């Protein structure tokens, strides 16, 4: 029995991309410290959940703020913005930590 295409994501040869159902997604930067990735992923999940809730409530301002949170988290993870493999590791880690600082500022 052949697994359905959505059962297991296929990995691209160069490990920079994740392919799901034929669509290519940039992977999280592998050089980031695990604790930073965990915090950014938590913020990403929180942002995605907030987008759904705000849309359901019809609150456009809350949707915009939640989408901003998602964007910042994805940039910090290296999933958006400049290709992480084209930058020095130090700059990538700094960008991730700055994203966490920015997300913390949103909460305050």
Is 65 part of any domain?
yes
Is 90 part of any domain?
yes
Residue pLDDT, tens place only, 47-60: 999 999 999 999 99
Is 68 part of any domain?
yes
Q: Write down the pLDDT at residue 9.
A: 56
Q: Does the pLDDT value for residue 93 go beyond 90?
A: yes
Is 49 part of any domain?
yes
Nearest one of 43, 45, 34 to 93, comparing CA atoms: 34
Task: Answer with the residue of higher pLDDT: 108 or 21.
Answer: 21
Question: How many domains does the chain divide into?
Answer: 1
Q: Write down the pLDDT at residue 108.
A: 73
Residue pLDDT, tens place only, 65-86: 999 999 999 999 999 999 999 9
Is 60 part of any domain?
yes
Please report the beta strands in the chain, taking only residues with DSSP state E, as ranges in sequence order: 10-11, 17-20, 23-26
Write out the two tokens for 90.
């130090």
Q: Write down the pLDDT at residue 15.
A: 85
Domain limits for position 63: 29-107
Is 3 part of any domain?
no
């Amino acid at each position: 029995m052949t697994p359905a295409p959505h059962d297991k994501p296929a990995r691209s040869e160069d490990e920079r991309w994740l392919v799901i159902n034929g669509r290519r997604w940039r992977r999280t930067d592998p050089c980031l410290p695990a604790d930073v990735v965990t915090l950014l992923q938590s913020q990403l999940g929180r942002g995605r959940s907030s987008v759904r809730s705000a849309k359901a409530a019809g609150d456009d301002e809350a949707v915009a703020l939640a989408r901003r949170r998602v964007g910042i988290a994805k940039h910090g993870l290296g999933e958006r913005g400049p290709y992480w493999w084209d930058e020095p590791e130090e700059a990538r880690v700094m960008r991730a930590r700055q994203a966490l600082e920015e997300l913390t500022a949103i909460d305050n």
